[in-house]
Amino acid sequence: MRNAKQFGLKGRGRIKRVPGTMNKTEARYAEHLQMLLLAGEIAAYGFEVVSLKLADKTRYTPDFFVLAADGAVEFHEVKGCRSDGKPLFEDASKIKVKVAAEVHWMFVFKGAYALPKKLGGGWKHEDFSSTPAAITATG
Per-residue pLDDT tens digits for 8-51: 656 556 667 777 889 999 999 999 999 999 999 999 999 999 99
CATH of domain 22-127: 3.40.1350.10
Domain segments of the chain as ranges: 22-127
Nearest to 34 by CA among 25, 21, 43: 43
pLDDT per residue as tens digits for the range 104-125: 999 999 999 999 988 888 999 9
Name the helix (H) or strand (E) containing 138.
none
Nearest to 111 by CA among 101, 100, 124: 124
Q: What's the pTM value of the predicted model, to 2 decimals?
A: 0.80
Q: Which pLDDT score is estimated for 105?
A: 93
Q: Which pLDDT score is estimated for 19?
A: 77
Q: Which pLDDT score is estimated for 14?
A: 62
